[in-house]
């Protein structure tokens, strides 16, 4: 699907992080490289953990990341997070990445998604139980 085609799907979850795709983040094809997107997704999930863990946490696993479409320089990139599962110390967040090309335009195309697992940590960097 191209950016101009009708996108019926909508972003799921909360807009946790928004950024602009910059030339310094491009791969050999001139598009944004996957590692840059994964780091933004990780940051977005990290922000989302704050309201659940009420303190420190760390990424313990990244699951099923898919890159669905390339991201062009100049795109606005939004990372949406949704809590899928809360365990004893762990949190599973779905992260979707959507882009738009024009300022103020709604997010129009999903370009990546994945599940980020975080573990709540205590002050000794050991796992701790999540608060109720
Ligand atoms: C997070 C950390 C403290 C957990 O260590 P641990 O005490 O041995 O953890 P456990 O194996 O008991 O797992 C803790 C929780 O994470 C979950 N978990 C651990 N590994 C997982 C994986 N690969 N996928 C999904 N969940 C995982 C467990 O199911 C458990 O969940 P629960 O408490 O909700 O039941 C340790 O793995 C660590 O320090 N990792 C490095 C974290 C880090 O530096 N991240 C930054 C990126 S490099």
Query: Which string of DSSP letters, residue by residue, matches the chain?
Result: --TTS-------SEEEEEEE--GGGB-TTSBBPHHHHHHHHHHHHHHHHHHHHSS-EEEEEEEEEEE-S--BTT-EEEEEEEEEEE-SSEEEEEEEEEEESSTTPPP-EEEEEEEEEEEEB-TTS-B-PPP-
**Under 8 Å between Cβ of 118 and 41:** no
Q: Is residue 45 part of a domain?
A: yes
Q: Is residue 74 part of a domain?
A: yes
What is the domain-level CATH number for residue 66?
3.10.129.10
Structural domain boundaries enclosing 68: 14-120
Predicted local distance difference test score (pLDDT) of residue 109: 93
Q: Please name the residue whose Cα sits nearest to atom 12 of ligand 1.
A: 127
Predicted local distance difference test score (pLDDT) of residue 102: 72
- Cα of 15 vs centre of ligand 1, distance in Å, is 25
pLDDT of 1 above 70: no
63-105 confidence digits (pLDDT tens): 999 999 999 999 999 999 999 999 999 999 999 999 997 766 7
Q: Is residue 33 part of a domain?
A: yes
Q: Please name the residue whose Cα sits nearest to atom 9 of ligand 1.
A: 127
Q: Is residue 5 part of a domain?
A: no
pLDDT of 12 above 60: yes
Q: Please name the residue whose Cα sits nearest to atom 8 of ligand 1.
A: 127
Q: Which atom of ligand 1 is nearest to the CA of 58?
A: 45
- Cα of 60 vs centre of ligand 1, distance in Å, is 5
Q: Is residue 95 part of a domain?
A: yes
16-58 confidence digits (pLDDT tens): 999 999 999 999 989 999 999 999 999 999 999 999 999 999 9
Sort residue 125 into left (φ over 0), alpha (ψ -120 to 50) or beta. left
Q: Is residue 50 part of a domain?
A: yes
Tally of domains within the chain: 1
- Cα of 132 vs centre of ligand 1, distance in Å, is 19
Q: Which atom of ligand 1 is nearest to the CA of 121?
A: 3
Q: Is residue 23 part of a domain?
A: yes
Q: Is residue 51 part of a domain?
A: yes
């Amino acid at each position: 699907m191209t950016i101009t085609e009708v996108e019926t799907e909508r972003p799921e979850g909360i807009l946790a992080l928004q950024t602009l795709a910059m030339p310094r983040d491009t791969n050999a094809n001139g598009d944004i490289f996957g590692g840059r997107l994964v780091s933004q997704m990780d940051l977005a999930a990290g922000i989302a953990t704050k309201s659940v863990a009420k303190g420190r946490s760390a990424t313990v696993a990244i699951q099923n990341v898919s890159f669905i479409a390339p991201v062009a320089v100049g795109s606005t990139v939004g990372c949406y997070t949704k809590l899928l599962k809360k365990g004893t110390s762990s949190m599973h967040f779905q992260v979707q990445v959507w882009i738009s090309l024009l300022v103020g335009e709604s997010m129009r195309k999903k370009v990546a998604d994945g599940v980020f697992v975080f573990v709540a940590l205590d002050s000794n960097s050991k796992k701790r139980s999540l608060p109720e």
